[in-house]
Structure 1
Amino acid sequence: MFPDPCNGGSTNYTDYCTGQSTASILLGLALALGTIGSSIPQITRIVGRKSSVGISGTFLLLANFNQYMVVLNCWMLDFPQLLGAFQSTSCIWDLIPFFQLLGLWSCYYIVWAAYIYYYKQENGKDSHYQYQFMTFVIFSALVIISMVGGTVWTIQVGPCNAPLYNFALSLGVISTIIGVCEWTPQIINTYRLKQQGSLSLIMLGIQMPGCGIIIIYYVFLDPQNWSTTIGYCFTFVQEVILVAFLVYYKLYYKGVVPDPSEVPQFFGGKKDKKEEKAGLLGDEVTSDYNY
């Protein structure tokens, strides 16, 4: 076991175990399983429909960066508890928040990959696809580099080290800033499309109240650093707005539903579209343009 730089080089990490009541453990497990399970409907819906329509690629980009930063934040600050779990099973329950965060991010990562794949099938390799694909590759590389580098750094100096602690805290702050506008592209996309598409209302219907419960859990039952918790507050508000939009367009909206191909992307490249015009002799001439 690695010497603990925050405890005089001791190899006993069980001192970091906070101890959880049975009620807290059960609630934490329920939240973790519920959070991961709530994302399954979104995965099955986009795969089942084989369509990217209705989902904002910009939202998925922001969501993945947001969730991963929280994962890395929690990983670095709670690393002693992780090592303690190898020494005592009682420490395992302290890791419930981390695995809950890891599970949610993993689901978003899968949905993002599926979105890029089906977008390519529907629209080809246009500029939006190229932007999304390159961002996905760069993000994946950054995950590997930051996780390995963060782990080595934490082993060497421990979370008690001021620079490391401030770095991990800054990840939470950046995640919070992203969280303020994370769902905004999806809200705008849904407003423009006037339809649900491949976006799962079941997922949101589960995640929205679940997010509220997580806030309560992280604040009162298993207190986490405020930088880990506050992002959920902004997410909860945005999910309420998005659910209201989806319910309205699904049940009450009677207006015109636009063609998805006519709706521009919120950010990150534009779709290439063929415009047909009549030539002088009545033949059709096509030209490419971006909007």
Structure 2
Amino acid sequence: MDPRCAEISTPDYANFGLSLLILVGIVVSYLPQHLRIIRLRSSYGLSPYFVLLGTTSGTCAFANILVLPKSRSDVACCREIDAFPCVAGLLGVAQRLSPHDADPDLDSLLLFLIFFPRTSNPLTDDQDDPPKEELAPSYRTALGVTAISVLHAVIVAILSFWFVYARPQHTQGWANFLGIFSTVLASIQYFPQIYTTFMLKRVGSLSIPMMCIQTPGSFVWAGSLVLRYGSEGWSAWGVYLVTGCLQGCLLVMGSYFEIMHRRREKKDLQSRMAQAIPDTSTTEQTPLLRAED
């Protein structure tokens, strides 16, 4: 038996349980974002360039883990080992096939396009401010983001198949390139969204609960991938460290704006209530005036 297959045949149950827990958490973490967009029936507040960079970064990360020779050797080992060790050994691949990387390509991209605001007042939630027209992208921009994302995915898929079947000796280099490119895109992905959120002073349709789950989850999962792939898989887990830091910055800023907005709402409500209450104060002359009437 191949040494790698022998290693997989004796899985680490603690690491398997942790990886499975994080995998479930990743799937669940996107539900608040999807539900918020659907509830508001608008993707207002999401930067189209944030979606574009996230989609292309996720596509590269998706291809990276599939092209890695170590991943493909793990898949080949399933022919020689039992079912449970095979599942445990491929959990890293399963995680990469989960919505954490596939989501930008499917769910978020589709929701962003379907619920892209085309009116002057896209948000129906009474807790959200009307949009600032100078920050609102056009629907043509949304279509362009979708087209570029699909074209990029097709090109990466074609090149990945070519390297795997025609130039297998260069697959590690191609995987490293995809990992570096994914990390670079992920590193700059959050800057357009941070800028948009800063200018709006609101999170819009961006979900804070999603970021609360994903920010610490990124660091935990990066540690899990380090244990699984070691330093050779730096291109696989490095992107999680970068995105975790940037998403944490966005989370802090978005939470601050939401807290300040709710405080302003509370003050405005108290002010309106004070104006609505009639002045019932009396003076010494009040009974005399009423008597004269």
For Structure 1 versus Structure 2, the TM-score category normalised by the shorter chain is 0.7 to 0.9
Q: In the TM superposition, what is the alpha-carbon distance from 1:157 to its structure 2 partner?
A: 4.9
1:171 aligned partner = 178
* Structure 1 residues 122 and 29: alpha-carbon distance in aligned structure 2, compared to 1, 3 A threshold: farther
1:83 aligned partner = 76
Does 1:135 find its partner at 2:131? no
1:107 paired residue among 96, 103, 107: 103
1:213 paired residue among 200, 220, 225: 220
2:156 aligned partner = 146
The percent identity for this pair of structures is 22
C-alpha contact 2:50 2:192 (8 A) present in aligned 1: yes
Q: TM-score, normalised by structure 2?
A: 0.73
Alignment-mate amino acid for residue 118 of structure 1:
F
Alignment-mate amino acid for residue 94 of structure 2:
F
Alignment-mate amino acid for residue 212 of structure 1:
F
Higher strand share: 1
Q: How does 1:39-118 map to 2 (within 5 A)?
A: 39-77=30-68, 78-85=71-78, 88=81, 89=83, 90-103=85-98, 104-109=100-105, 110-118=107-115
Q: In the TM superposition, what is the alpha-carbon distance from 1:108 to its structure 2 partner?
A: 2.0
SS at match of 1:24: helix
Alignment-mate amino acid for residue 130 of structure 1:
R
1:228 aligned partner = 236
Segments of 5+ residues of structure 2 without an aligned counterpart are: 123-135, 266-293
Segments of 5+ residues of structure 1 without an aligned counterpart are: 1-11, 257-291
Q: In the TM superposition, what is the alpha-carbon distance from 1:13 to its structure 2 partner?
A: 7.7
Distance 2:227 2:3 in 1: 23
TM superposition outliers: structure 1 runs of 4+ over 6 Å: none
C-alpha contact 2:5 2:80 (8 A) present in aligned 1: no
Indicate the larger mover: 46-55 or 217-226: 217-226
C-alpha contact 1:76 1:168 (8 A) present in aligned 2: yes
> Is the radius of gyration larger for structure 1 or structure 2?
2
